[in-house]
Amino acid sequence: MNKEIKIAIIGLGYVGLPLARLFATKYTVVGFDINKARISELMSGTDTTLEVSDEVLQAVLIPNTQYPIPNGDSLTTGLYCSSNLHDISDCNYYIITVPTPVDKKNRPVLTPLLKASETVGAVLKKGDIVIYESTVYPGATEEDCVPVLESVSGLKYNKDFYVGYSPERINPGDKEHTVEKILKVTSGSTPEVGEKVNDFYKSVITAGTYLAPTIKVAEAAKVIENSQRDINIAFVNELAKIFNLMDINTNDVLEAAGTKWNFLPFKPGLVGGHCIGVDPYYLAQKAQEYGYNPEIILAGRRMNDSMGEYVASQVIKTMIKKDIKIKDAEILILGITFKENCPDVRNTKVVDVIAALKEYNTNITIYDPWVNTDEVKQEYGLDSVKEIPKDKFDAVVLAVAHDKFKELDFKYLRKDNSVIYDVKGVLNEGIDGNL
């Protein structure tokens, strides 16, 4: 039992909730979020991101009737969720897991991070530790967030309170690599605090931890993990463009090259979401502030951002080759989430494919059994359906590799003369085109 440690987790999204649930198996955790609807959903025992099952969430929830826990009570583990600042005021470990997006010009937006720092600053006490988990550029924790903590709390950094940075590596929708099973990089604002933060995570992360020498090293490590992925995917996307011109199947080439022991198994595709398609911009911006123009990082971003339009042009080309009339053609898009087997539609690049196809005056139907259709409408102004359509289509574009789509019988979806375009390269037979 850990009566001396009480944790607040600020931001209960894809990262914050699984982490809060995990810590709640050993400690008292208060999950704090400004989104009141999210708090009531979680307190009713449901997670709409589907990262934590209802059963697992309910097993740790502390009901309203039992919170605050009276001093000396034996109840020392569990999760209580709240939007009330007072409920996190007696915590001593604060973990910040709020979004770090980019704006329309791809510049980092630190507002949620700075607002969350203000929240924590308002309740910060001597001896507390604030750990940031959001993905940022090197320097964001110490140069952007710590000054906010200091000015709001009136306390002195590394004298009255301490800071850590421990990036999250979870992969939404992945039920195998869950938070406790992923080795976690940790760091602290002094060597002693580094050890303390490391021990803190080690107490729940079964895969173990890696204590980085400084906060900046830990920040940089996270941002390059995603940048490396982005650049590798950009390279295979470029290969796909080249091999399509040469009429060579890219997947066949990758499979052949993959027989070499050190060939990396990346696949072409759309790069969406709020990590791989966003984080490289954080590193790029910081590099530019130091007077360095990051050519490879930004070229990778440009290549990956161009893929939506490219996929649409390939679909249209394939239809024309089969003499299918483009104007008013009925096209079915399978999947609109940013990746497979999860309901997350934020920053999905499937919308780029749809927008480009609409430019050809085609009619689009979007089928995705995973999404909240209201969210798709609200975020993108697009109608989508969760039930498989009964109509037949001139083209079917598999945009997201949800497992459910691999079981579909395409003959019920396609007209006699039609196109099946497999963006993800997961279908085996009857495909007319793929990346």
Ligand X SMILES: NC(=O)c1ccc[n+]([C@@H]2O[C@H](COP(=O)([O-])OP(=O)(O)OC[C@H]3O[C@@H](n4cnc5c(N)ncnc54)[C@H](O)[C@@H]3O)[C@@H](O)[C@H]2O)c1
Residues that bind ligand X (CB under 6 A): 10-16, 32-35, 38, 97-100, 112, 115-116, 119, 134-135, 168, 170, 172, 274-275
Q: Six-digit token pair at 88? A: 């996190």
| 77 within 8 A of 27, measured Cβ to Cβ | yes
Closer residue to ligand X in complex, CB, 122/257:
122
The residue at minimum Cβ distance from ligand X is 13
Contacts with 98 (C-beta within 8 Å, 6 or more apart), sequence order: 10, 11, 13, 16, 112, 113, 115, 116, 134
Residue 196 sits at the vertex; the CA angle it makes with 191 and 199, to the nearest 5 degrees, is 125
Peptide bond into 68 cis (omega under 30): yes
Contacts with 364 (C-beta within 8 Å, 6 or more apart), sequence order: 331, 333, 354, 357, 358
Q: How far is Cα 62 from Cα 57, in angstroms, rounded to an integer?
A: 10
CB of 112 to ligand X, least distance (A): 4
| 117 within 8 A of 94, measured Cβ to Cβ | no
Q: How far is Cα 71 from Cα 183, in angstroms, rounded to an integer?
A: 35
Contacts with 205 (C-beta within 8 Å, 6 or more apart), sequence order: 179, 180, 182, 183, 184
Element (H, E) at 333: strand 330-334
Contacts with 302 (C-beta within 8 Å, 6 or more apart), sequence order: none
Closer residue to ligand X in complex, CB, 88/312:
88
Q: How far is Cα 331 from Cα 383, in angstroms, rounded to an integer?
A: 14
CB of 114 to ligand X, least distance (A): 8
| 342 included as an active-site residue | no
Catalytic, out of 81, 91, 145, 275: 275
| 93 within 8 A of 164, measured Cβ to Cβ | no
Rg of the chain over all Cα atoms, to the nearest angstrom = 24
Element (H, E) at 307: helix 307-321
Closer residue to ligand X in complex, CB, 19/315:
19
Contacts with 173 (C-beta within 8 Å, 6 or more apart), sequence order: 50, 339, 340, 341, 342, 344
Closer residue to ligand X in complex, CB, 226/318:
226
**Residue 327 burial (C-beta neighbours within 10 Å; 0-12, 13-18, 19+):** exposed
> Amino acid identity of 206?
T
CB of 99 to ligand X, least distance (A): 4
Q: Six-digit token pair at 404? A: 């459910």
Closer residue to ligand X in complex, CB, 87/168:
168
Q: How far is CA 434 from the centre of its chain?
A: 25
| 353 within 8 A of 310, measured Cβ to Cβ | no
Closer residue to ligand X in complex, CB, 36/325:
36
CB of 75 to ligand X, least distance (A): 25
| 180 within 8 A of 206, measured Cβ to Cβ | yes
Catalytic positions, please?
A: 275
